[in-house]
Chains A and B, each alone.
Chain A
């Protein structure tokens, strides 16, 4: 009894999952085949693909046509009678069918990170197997197709005041991501984000919005051997949002753009990692930059026209000086040296901003005016 039930269920599942071409199901072979005296021959009444197009809309009427479709070989992929696979495909799965002609994609399928639609929905999630008006028979233009599933990135791209032109030029998202799969997280083309970023930022670039120049970062890192924090492990995206941002220099938090700014803790992305105490408390011992107990960070930033981190520090990389201090700082169109010299318990600084002054954590320095 039980065996009969199981058999019935299994059989019904097996037969139920089979896809049958409706004309074939009717049993009237003459719909397609020529009827001879002794039955039906293999000969068709009309040649493929015209036979197919008698019932189906044309599949080759868009700009980019898949070669088998162009050749009219519908039956190369589809079985005209029945199949176990939806759409009467001649393979056990959609992707297997595609891979039978495109073996190079097989290599991608073995990558540790596969883009889910590739596996779950198959190639036709993005590519039309017959014809499409877009390059590679994509269902939307190359620069836009990702936004079918990732609309929030489109939102960031289009509505951010500070844009990253990588999303807008050449191949859009695909400039950085591999849409099929990759050895690296986020389907990136490089293992380390910095290598990816420097593949473009190895020259001086101009911002599209205002023509402001962005320096040659590859050269900057090559010349300055002491990278700051995230740059040590090449994590540019720890501070920058590569898709676009409302903040200066597509940063993930705010940062003032000029030489001077009034201070607020919320104005600086730096405090994601760094302790803000030396900036908010006049007397503290949690910073090395103090004269006795007087926090010199507090003195430098806490004015209407306080100075910003950039005026003394370079957060990408520096060369030689401690605390990621710059050798030269930029003011207007000129550069001037900070002339910083460290001492055992402090240091001296002689920029253009004030006379040469020193600080010492143990024996406070009395500076002349």
Chain B
């Protein structure tokens, strides 16, 4: 791989034209599925430029005097190869392949980033100065989301946008060592700025579910936008059974109680929550509970859990 890129670099010097991929950096880790690709090339010597990802290939519209081209592409959980293929006016083709990784706790492919991959901040030094030629990347303010959206707009375009992310990125991306738009771990402290009531409720309960207890809300929720309600990264039952995978195969719950089969857990309206279908969360609280199995209500004694739907 290194040999190949060296050869390509050497070749391009000899041929007399070159191009540069400014971002993403090789071996970067991302959490969002949309990332920006920025290519610097010489339009006078280039006849065609294509960006290839694992799922799509995008041909750039070349302009006469434009050297820098930005494109937002979609990546998949786990290992991705972003290929930039430039065809010169002389017909010679050069290819640069940039390996990146999309980390995600709820997609098994994205569970284990390779050791030599790391999160690299973009908004600093040279790379930002380069963007500042077109974008006002230095003049961003707390509500300057419009400016961010020029490159990162796609992450807000899913069905349910999270209001603060639409209002202003820097509400949460307050900056840190890595980049001036980095966010702080644990992210829950940032979330609790608005969702403080939840903090009080959860932490007063007897049991807390592992993932939310770690303060990494982004494990299940997408803070920008999502196609699923509650900004969940998958449909509720799908999400729960990613980790609790045995529940996907076995019958659950109350096997033998309801005419020999199990109680339905999906596909039917939930009487206790109008507008929702039955799901794991109909009975279990995904964050915290005072009752065993994270039941939404006490099922012991007078069977209050059942009475949520079966009122007499």
Contacts and interface: CB of A to CB of B under 8 A. Distances in A.
Contact of A333 (B186, B210, B245): B245
Contact of B106 (A334, A351, A355): A334
A124 to B, nearest CB: 55
Which has the most chain A C-beta neighbours within 10 Å: B106, B111, B219? B111
Contact of B105 (A336, A350, A353, A356): A336
A351 B243 CA distance: 14
Contact of A335 (B111, B216, B219): B111
Contacts of B243: 331-334
B80 interface: no
Interface string B24-38: 000000000000000
Contacts of A350: 214
Interface string B83-99: 00000000000000000
Nearest to B205: A369
A352 B210 contact: yes
Contacts of A333: 108, 242-243, 245
A212 interface: no
B215 interface: yes
Contacts of B242: 332-334
Interface string B7-27: 000000000000000000000
A102 interface: no
Nearest to A337: B112
Interface in B232-270: 241-246
B196 interface: no
Nearest to B243: A332
A354 B210 contact: yes
B105 A355 contact: no
B57 interface: no
Contacts of B216: 352
B140 to A, nearest CB: 31
Nearest to A330: B111
Interface in B174-215: 186, 203, 208, 210-211, 213-215
B214 A355 contact: yes
A19 B173 CA distance: 101
A351 B211 CA distance: 8
Nearest to A339: B214
Nearest to B188: A355
B106 to A, nearest CB: 7
Contacts of A355: 186, 213-215
A268 interface: no
A328 B103 CA distance: 14
A313 B75 CA distance: 33
Interface string A354-367: 11100000000000
Given A332-B244, A332-B246, A353 B210 contact: yes
Interface of B: 105-106, 108, 111-112, 186, 203, 208, 210-211, 213-216, 219, 241-246
Interface of A: 328, 331-336, 350-356, 369
Given A352-B214, A355-B215, 15 more contacts: A328-B111, A331-B243, A332-B244, A332-B246, A334-B106, A335-B108, A335-B112, A336-B105, A336-B111, A351-B214, A352-B210, A352-B211, A353-B213, A355-B213, A355-B214
The 7 closest A-B pairs by CB, nearest first: A332-B245, A335-B111, A332-B243, A333-B245, A353-B210, A352-B210, A355-B213
